[in-house]
């Protein structure tokens, strides 16, 4: 049956929408990378350029500057899209669209500038704001984890190496490992924030030749123009030298920080998923949340799984920035443009989504102390065997004989476990005559609190000495609320 082609004209145009926008990223980060923010920032940059040029003596009237300011937010994206279809140039499309509503100022919009004046400087402004938003989420996550660590600093739990039972630790001490990763990430984020400079007013190949021509060879005025625009846009420094673009190495450094944050989040979420399998720890679970469409009883750690999924995406984007930096030909090549539109925005949106989930999970983790204790108790006779042996030696036993007896008992008890039965090592030691002098206080010797070392003290010391000062320094950034939509 033939379909009427005209019928398709009545249907909405098919359109892909990124899940980062529709499902995962926060409202604030979506707004930061929105078309509205991008194009209004372009206009702020054009206004700053025109205003500063006028102040330094170019033939630009106050009326022209005022006209630009009066229509700074009159965005007609449909008109700009129409112009771009004709001109094949996004910046010039917006110059023309704005010029249509600012006819007096039209002749001086973008005067002396190259596209990277608005494009690159806007990217720097948006990345700086994106890092600020991530900083708020990061310190809010630190705060939630610090509260969790304090609450559970004394609860003994089975520690693992190679995901095999090892020495005991505490639930709070384990949380401090997650916190420490984020502390390092915050250090890196603060460092890269200081490296974000303004590209400034540099011209087509970075030589400022067009501005030197406009100011009739006056180098001081060209330098002053660069400085004034930089100050008006809220930056303290510009890059001393650029090509047409700011150095793409900066993108790599920024994405390295985002990758590092996501590495930390992935490690946390993986740990939680492992512990959820053991029923020791769970992420928050909604009252009507469905874990599985087929298995109604399931409580899958879907938020932690999503943290891992999105983190993996961000970690891989770092390579994109590395290749872009490596492949910048001479003063500039345009093969950075299309991938940067994708990779930078999506790296920020995905990292925002990861931290959005991280602060949500960290604020509502559920610990099951009875299960934690049961798992530790099952392994304690093995972990405490040296202490039991030492106590028996103190009571007059032969160290070598005791060591051999424990070796035999422990291997037999391990066989019991592997054959599906409970470990009977405690009972074996209690009934062995060689350990009769310590059998009466085996419960004391097999108390998990004896084997956590300085874990509780380490929690207190770490939080007081390292974490609390950070939380105090960034008090204004605390309190970010999660926005888990699905």
Percent of the residues in the chain that have a pLDDT greater than 70, as a whole number: 94
**Count of domains forming the chain:** 1
Q: Is the pLDDT of residue 226 over 80?
A: yes
Asked whether residue 410 is assigned to any structural domain, the reply reads yes
Q: For residue 311, what is the enclosing H or E element? A: helix 302-326
Residue scoring higher pLDDT (69 or 15):
69
In a domain, 432, yes or no: yes
Report d(CA 276, CA 273) in Å as an integer: 5
CATH number of the domain enclosing 394: 1.10.40.30
Three-state DSSP at 260 gives helix
- Between strands 164-170 and 156-161, the pairing is antiparallel
Quote the pTM value.
Answer: 0.89
In contact, 169 and 280? CB cutoff 8 Å: no
Contact, 215 vs 222, CB < 8 A? yes
In this predicted structure, what is the pLDDT of residue 265? Answer: 98
Q: Each residue of 308-325: pLDDT tens digit? A: 999 999 999 999 999 999
3-class DSSP state of 170: strand
Model pLDDT, residue 6:
54
61/451: higher pLDDT: 61
Q: How confident is the model at residue 292 (pLDDT cuts 50, 70, 90)?
A: low
pLDDT tens track for 13-38: 778 888 888 899 999 999 999 999 99
* pLDDT tens-digit map of 34-52: 999 999 999 999 999 999 9
Residue 425's domain spans which residues? 385-445
What is residue 443's predicted lDDT score, i.e. its pLDDT? 77
Lowest mean pLDDT among 2-16, 191-205, 227-241: 2-16
Query: Is 295 inside a domain boundary?
Result: no
Q: What is the pLDDT of residue 1?
A: 46
Give the tokens for residue 357.
């989930």
Is residue 433 in some structural domain? yes
Whether residue 95 lies inside any domain: the answer is no
Is the pLDDT confidence value at 11 over 70? no
Residues recognised as catalytic: 162, 292
Categorize the per-residue pLDDT at 129 as very low, low, confident or very high, splitting at 50, 70 and 90: very high
Percent of the chain with pLDDT over 90: 70
For residue 437, being part of any structural domain is answered with yes
Q: Does residue 352 fall inside a structural domain?
A: no
Residue 420 lies in a domain: yes
């Amino acid at each position: 049956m033939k379909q009427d082609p005209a019928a398709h004209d009545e249907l909405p145009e098919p359109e892909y929408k990124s899940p980062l926008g529709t499902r995962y990223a926060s409202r604030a980060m979506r707004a930061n990378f929105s078309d509205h923010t991008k194009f209004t920032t372009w206009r702020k940059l054009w206004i700053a350029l025109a205003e500063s040029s006028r102040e330094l003596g170019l033939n630009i009237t106050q009326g022209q500057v005022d006209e630009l300011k009066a229509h700074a937010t009159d965005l007609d994206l449909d008109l700009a899209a129409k112009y771009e279809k004709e001109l094949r140039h996004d910046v010039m499309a917006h110059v023309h669209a704005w010029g249509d509503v600012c006819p007096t100022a039209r002749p001086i919009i973008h005067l002396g500038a190259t596209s990277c004046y608005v494009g690159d400087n806007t990217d720097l402004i948006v990345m700086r704001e994106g890092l600020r938003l991530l900083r708020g989420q990061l310190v809010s996550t630190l705060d939630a984890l610090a509260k969790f660590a304090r609450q559970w600093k004394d609860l003994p739990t089975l520690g693992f190496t190679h995901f095999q039972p090892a020495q005991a630790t505490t639930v709070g001490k384990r949380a401090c490992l997650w916190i420490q990763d984020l502390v390092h990430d915050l250090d890196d984020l603060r460092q890269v924030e200081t490296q974000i400079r303004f590209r400034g007013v540099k011209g087509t190949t970075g030589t400022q030749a067009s501005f030197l021509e406009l100011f009739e060879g006056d180098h001081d005025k060209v330098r002053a123009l660069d400085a004034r625009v930089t100050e008006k846009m809220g930056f303290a420094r510009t890059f001393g030298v650029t090509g047409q673009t700011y150095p793409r190495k900066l993108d790599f450094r920024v994405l390295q920080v985002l990758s590092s944050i996501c590495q930390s989040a992935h490690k946390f979420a993986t740990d939680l998923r492992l512990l959820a399998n053991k029923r020791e720890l769970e992420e928050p679970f909604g009252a009507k949340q469905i874990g599985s469409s087929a298995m109604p009883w399931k409580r899958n750690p879907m938020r932690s799984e999503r943290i891992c999924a999105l983190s993996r995406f961000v970690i891989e984007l770092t390579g994109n920035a590395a290749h872009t930096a490596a492949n910048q030909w001479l003063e500039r090549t345009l093969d950075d443009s299309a991938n940067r539109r994708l990779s930078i925005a999506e790296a920020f949106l995905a990292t925002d989504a990861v931290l959005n989930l991280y602060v949500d999970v960290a604020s509502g983790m559920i610990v099951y102390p009875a299960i934690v204790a049961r798992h530790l108790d099952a392994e304690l006779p093995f972990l405490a065997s040296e202490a039991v042996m030492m106590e028996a030696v103190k009571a007059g036993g032969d160290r070598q004989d005791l060591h051999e007896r424990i070796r035999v008992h422990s291997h037999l008890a391990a066989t019991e476990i592997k054959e599906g039965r409970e470990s009977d090592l405690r009972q074996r030691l209690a009934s062995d005559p060689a350990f009769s002098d310590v059998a009466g206080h085996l419960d004391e010797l097999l108390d998990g609190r004896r084997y956590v070392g300085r874990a509780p003290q380490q929690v207190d010391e770490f939080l007081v000495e390292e974490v609390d000062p950070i939380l105090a320094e960034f008090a204004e950034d605390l309190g970010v609320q999660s926005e888990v939509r699905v």
